[in-house]
Structure 1
Amino acid sequence: MNFIEKHPEAVGETAPTDDGKTVLHYAVEAVRVDIVKKLLPYIMADDYLEIEDDEWCSALDYCSMLPDKDEMVEIAKCLVQKKEELSAGGVDYPYLLVEAFINGRPKMADYLYKVTPLKTDDTHAAALISLSFGTKRFDIACDLIQRYPSLAVAEDFSEKSPLNVLACTPSAFLSGSELKFWEKWIYHGIYIKPSPTIKSETIDEDNKGKPTATPDAISIDVVPTQGDGKDNYKQSGLIRSGINRIYHMKLNHVRSLEILSCMCKVLTTEEMKSLDEKQEKFVETAIVQAAERGLVEFMTHIFRVNPNLVKTLDDKGRNLFQVAVECRQAKVFNLIHALTKDTKKDVMSLTDNDDNNMLHMMGLFSPFAQTNRIRGAALQMQKELQWFQELENMARPEDLEAVNDTHDMKPRDFFSKNHIELVKEGEKSMKETATSCTVVCALIVTMMFAAAFTVPGGNEDDGDPVLLKRRAFRVFIVADAISLFTSTTSVMLFLGILTSRYAEEDFLISLPRKMILGLLTLFLSVAAMMIAFAAALFLMLPKDSWIAVPTNLVTGIPIASFIWMQFPYLMEIFISTYMPGIFDRNVELNLGKIRFKA
């Protein structure tokens, strides 16, 4: 400082041997608030603050990149104030705000947002909203979109709009997240406090002033505790049970829907008339992107404010329901039931640029179909047949005979042609499972048949079992018989699978039913076999219970192993075959006035 007092111009000199940094760069990098404050009086020109190092970073740029500390925010305040004093035309920091947002510096972002003027046509403002869906930081995004809903269709740095980014973020919605049944119970039981709303009188109507206030930062690194029902959360042992993760997920979903609700203000029928061609394209593309990913909440929010957007087409001339069928998004396709009966028939007959109607879409596979979520090729084929059957029931007779341009094929022929490989894979997987299970069943049959004639304790001279009057012996005989009969039945069922013709329609009911009964009888035979073994052990060691009891407890391991590894597969087949499917006709959306034209 003594040197700088004698040579004030040294503040603007760069170090020749170390990446072109000035003394101010070093002070900021070292997070020395005291030194920065002492240096500022010697900075007499705005150019000094704009000096960049060899990485093209000014001292103020460092603030959005270095660790997020209160001291760093204090340094940023000092530099901003100094720059405002030296700049007659004011200061503009939107790029710093975006950098702080990208780099995960919430404290710095909060401060810069308070001092940064943002406009409705500013790409930086649009980028902040777009980034919020990936960074899961929604406070600034919620505030911005409430003030300026038109930012929903403003172009950001990636030449997309925040609406498009949200439509491409499945994790922002419940329909794009996978939850087990018990996780859904927890999810629906968690309360999320709504974000603070912006009062109309605080909104800067001329879109030029700085924000008057920002909502408090939203913390998403905590779990709910029992308390007053508000957002009062703290770390607890429940984190280990997954509640923390589910809470984070729901918080993200609620905030995303709040932002979407604000975006919908510019998507009404009246507001859409004021959008330019590029903005209209943003909206149409976003709806198609949401349909491809199955984000039904995104679509219903928009259709409620502007039902006409349900007629949106993609670049191939396909309507949203055709896109949903191609991508196998049942929740989106179910929206068709919000239309009238006649309109549904009309939609089923509509064709794309290649003359493919709705049924032809079942012969196409989209990368968004995510059929890998279904276990095994056989179940995948069953699901495909259920889709086609649902569409057949809704279509007109002439739609079943319609021929497309690209392949000159009817829907059923087109479906069969494109599912040949899936049928082969399903046949292979079913046969492999049946073969393995048949070997196990045959071994159980052999053992249980032999055990019936070599009973514990042997036989008397007249042939009666020695231990006939013991209760454990009766348990042994009954369990042995049950195991023998069920394993024999299981063998017959699996042989039926091995000798099946494996036609397409067999994958719908016939093969899954045989597999369900085969696995169920196999499980019963294994369980009965272990019960028979336990009963025999009690018969052989009536006075040594200290050996028999622990050993019999271990017999539960094979049963538990079967339940752990095979029972989920069994339940999945059962639910897919006999339980209500993925198609739901009870849609809480009124699109009765919408008409489609061929």
Structure 2
Amino acid sequence: MYRQLNIFNIIYDIGSFKDLLVQKTDKKRNNILHLAAKIPGKYRHHTESGKAAVQLKEELLWFKKVKEILHPWDAEAKNKKGKTARALFIEQHQVLRDKAEKWIKEMVSACLMGAKIIATVVFAAAFTVPGGTKEETGSPNLVRRASFILFGISDAIALLLSCFSVLKFLSVIYSRYEEEDFILHLLYDLKVGLSLFVSSVGAMMVVFCATMFIVFQHGMLWVPVLITTMAVFACFVYCERLLRAIVDVPHPATASGSPFKEEK
């Protein structure tokens, strides 16, 4: 009930005697799985929506790990109120689950809109060739310039990354949001989608800077240099929060702050 991992490990390592110990119940016929299903006081009130998904995943991992040391019959046992540990867990964590689902959907919806805009812009840029094209062949006039090559490569990268991020965000937003989804893939897919989205923003800025060098190719190079400097500064400033969000979202197998860093 108090999430003491050291005590859990002691019970786990005492051998066959643990099979008798874990069958014990309290006066309300709650076994250890019922106690693990109760939400701790620190998660009961004033939980930040941004941390709710991580907290719910940690709670699910704890409940799953405690369940593994119980006999299947004991894991499905009911207390005096006629509730199984699973039913008690769902009841106790409903508010936390709602906050986690709301936070994920809000973040995904905002990033999905941004990814769609980036995909639209870079797709249009691919057919608006800077410097014009040759009337005879239709090939770009500046095809051999380094700035034009950089423009083409970064535009393609931005388009692909934004499309991949859209697909990842769609897989998250249309998920069932069941308890197992928070453990297996939801947070991981969100992290991958955010990484792709931030990378597409960076690639789009490279497209913009390369275009400026093409436009101002004849003199006044200080203009694209100044614009590139401002673009890099803007990326560092406005992408900082997204980068922090990516770092804060843990991988399913190595949750930040999770009580189970190693399988025992």
Asked if 1:468 is matched to 2:143, the reply is: yes
1:441 alignment partner in structure 2: 115
Write out per-residue CA displacement over residues 340-394 of structure 1, whole angstroms, 9 at most, x where no aligned residue: 1223333432222211111111331232568948943222221111111111222
Q: Report the counterpart of residue 569 of structure 1 in structure 2.
A: 245
- The match for 1:497 among 158, 172, 181 is 172
1:582 pairs with one of 243, 259, 263: 259
Which structure: greater helix fraction?
2
Matched with 2:68 is 393
Q: Structure 2: how far apart are the matches of 1:479 and 1:584?
A: 39
**CA 1:327–1:476 in structure 2 vs 1: closer, same or farther (change >3 Å)?**
same
In structure 1, what is the Cα distance between the partners aligned to 2:129 and 2:164? 23
For residues 325-474 of structure 1, the aligned pairs below 5 Å read 326-330=1-5, 333-337=8-12, 339-368=13-42, 372=47, 375-405=50-80, 407-461=81-135, 462-474=137-149
Q: Structure 1 residues 586, 530: CA separation in 2 closer, same or farther (over 3 Å shift)?
A: closer
CA contact (8 A) 2:132 2:141 kept: yes
TM-superposition CA deviations, 1:115-143 (whole Å, max 9, x none): xxxxxxxxxxxxxxxxxxxxxxxxxxxxx
CA distance in 2, matches of 1:567, 1:335: 39
1:551/1:364 Cα in 2 relative to 1: closer, same or farther (>3 Å)?
A: same
Task: Give the whole-Å Cα distance in 2 for the aligned partners of 1:332 and 1:374.
Answer: 30
Task: Tell me the secondary structure at the aligned position of residue 534 of structure 1.
Answer: helix
SS at match of 1:527: helix
Deviation at 1:563, TM superposition (A): 4.5
**Are residue 539 (structure 1) and residue 220 (structure 2) matched?**
no
Q: Which secondary structure state, in structure 2, belongs to the residue aligned with residue 441 of structure 1?
A: helix
Amino acid at match of 1:458: G
> Aligned pair count?
259
* 1:560 alignment partner in structure 2: 236
Deviation, 1:569, is 2.2
Q: Distance in 1 between matches of 2:141 and 2:39?
A: 67
Return the alpha-carbon distance in structure 2 between the equivalents of residues 479 and 333 of structure 1.
Answer: 52
1:492-547: CA deviation from partner (whole Å, max 9, x where unpaired) = 22122222222221111221122122111101101111111111111222332322
Distance 1:470 1:584, change over 3 A: closer
In 1, Cα distance between equivalents of 2:248 and 2:6: 19
TM-score, normalised relative to structure 2: 0.87
TM-score after normalising by structure 1: 0.41
Stretches of structure 2 lacking an aligned partner (at least 5 in a row): none
Q: State the shift of 1:421 in Å.
A: 2.4
Higher Rg of the two aligned structures? 1
Structure 1 unaligned segments of length 5 or more: list them: 1-325, 588-598
- What are the residue-to-residue correspondences of 1:232-381 with 2, within 5 Å? 326-330=1-5, 333-337=8-12, 339-368=13-42, 372=47, 375-381=50-56
Partner SS state of residue 508, structure 1? helix
Equivalent position of 1:484 in the other structure: 159
Report the CA distance between 1:333 and its aligned residue: 3.9
Secondary structure of 2:16's aligned partner: helix
* Bigger relative contact order (CA 8 A; separation at least 6): 2
Aligned to 2:200: 525
- The 3 A distance-change label for structure 1 pair 400 and 528 is same
Retained in 2: the 8 A contact 1:482–1:528?
Answer: yes
Relative to structure 1, the CA distance from residue 368 to residue 503 in structure 2 (aligned partners, 3 Å threshold; closer, same or farther) is closer
- Report the counterpart of residue 548 of structure 1 in structure 2: 224
Distance 1:534 1:381, change over 3 A: same
**TM-align CA RMSD:** 2.5
**Per-residue CA distance 1:166-213 (angstroms, 9 max, x = gap):** xxxxxxxxxxxxxxxxxxxxxxxxxxxxxxxxxxxxxxxxxxxxxxxx
Q: Structure 1 CA distance, aligned partners of 2:253 and 2:241?
A: 21
CA contact (8 A) 1:374 1:380 kept: no
CA distance in 1, matches of 2:263, 2:68: 17
Using the alignment, how far apart are the partners of 2:49 and 2:95 within structure 1? 16
Q: Is contact 1:327–1:368 with CA below 8 Å preserved after alignment? A: no
CA distance in 1, matches of 2:34, 2:56: 16
Instruction: Name the aligned partner's letter for residue 99 of structure 2.
Output: E
Cα displacement (A) at 1:486: 1.0
- In structure 1, distance between residues paired with 2:49 and 2:19: 30
Structure 1 residues 420 and 374: alpha-carbon distance in aligned structure 2, compared to 1, 3 A threshold: closer
Q: For residues 547 and 420 of structure 1, do their structure 2 counterparts lie closer, same or farther at Cα, with a shift above 3 Å needed?
A: same
Q: Which amino acid aligns with 1:409?
A: K
Asked if the contact 2:77/2:85 (under 8 Å) is kept, the reply is yes
SS of the counterpart of 1:555?
A: helix
Kept after mapping to 2: 8 A contact 1:334/1:583: no
Take 2:69 and 2:102, find their aligned partners in 1: how far apart are those partners? Answer: 32
CA-to-aligned-CA distance 1:267-291 (integer Å, 9 cap, x gap): xxxxxxxxxxxxxxxxxxxxxxxxx
